[in-house]
Structure formats: structure tokens, C-alpha cells
Amino acid sequence: MHLSFKCFMCGMKDSLWSKTLLSTFGMHAVPRKANIRQLLIRTARHRLLDQPARFVEQMKLSIPQAFCDTFLSILTLSAVDFLFTQQLPIAEKVQGVTQAEQEDLTQEQLNCMYYLNRFVAHQDQDELG
């Protein structure tokens, strides 16, 4: 993949990177060809590992140690896979949460809900995710 910023003026590039994209991730360096890969890796690591790790540590503090030991001793790859599979969206689950907030719907709203539920029912798991 080749990134080209030739159509941007220098100030526009700096503004795009530093004020929008990178500042979102708490980064303030403007990427160059030599360091963009490292910046993207650092950003991904920050968003996918570092930020969730703090949340997981906070969760662990509220769980008694005896429960953690028991839970971790029976935790297997197949058990994790089962838990993950149970959380995947399926048409019935999605239809179950797509309910109208009000009870007295107009005919147009009822038609819309009907077609929405029909659409969801014909989606496969990849399309629902």
C-alpha cells in the first residue's frame, strides 16, 4: 500500500495528522515515510492492548481472588471459544433487541419494523457483526 500526500500543502498535512488523526490517539508526532509503520503499530498497540488492559485490571480488583483462581483453573481454549461464540450476533438476538420504544405505532412505523425484522432475518452472522 502506498500513501501519497502530494495533493496536500504542507500545512494541511500537518493539520490533518496532528490535529485530527494522531491527536485522537494522544500522539503529537507527524509521521514520515521512515516512521509511519512504527506509529501505526504503536497506535494499534495502545488502542487494542494498553487501554483495555487498564479496564481488565480494574475488573480484576472487584473479583475475589478465590473466584479468580477457580475460574482460571477451569478456563480452557474451548471454553473461551464457546463464550465468544455465544456472544456473536445471530438474527434472532438482533431481532429481539430491535423493538419499538413506543407502543402506539403508526402503520408506516409498523411497516418499517416489519421490513427491518425481515431484513435482519436474512442476514448471515458476518453481516450482522
The predicted-structure confidence for 36-86, as pLDDT tens digits, reads as follows 788 788 888 888 888 888 888 887 788 888 887 887 788 788 888 888 888
Domain that holds residue 23: 8-87
* pLDDT recorded at residue 1: 47
Same domain, 14 and 60: yes
Q: How many CB atoms lie within 10 A of CB 107?
A: 7
Same domain, 100 and 48: no
Same domain, 30 and 41: yes
Report the percent of the chain where pLDDT is more than 70. Answer: 75
Given pLDDT bands bounded at 50, 70 and 90, which one contains residue 100? confident
The predicted-structure confidence for 55-66, as pLDDT tens digits, reads as follows 888 877 888 888
**Distances from the Cα of 112 to the Cαs of 41, 50, 92, 109, 118, in angstroms?**
43, 42, 18, 5, 10
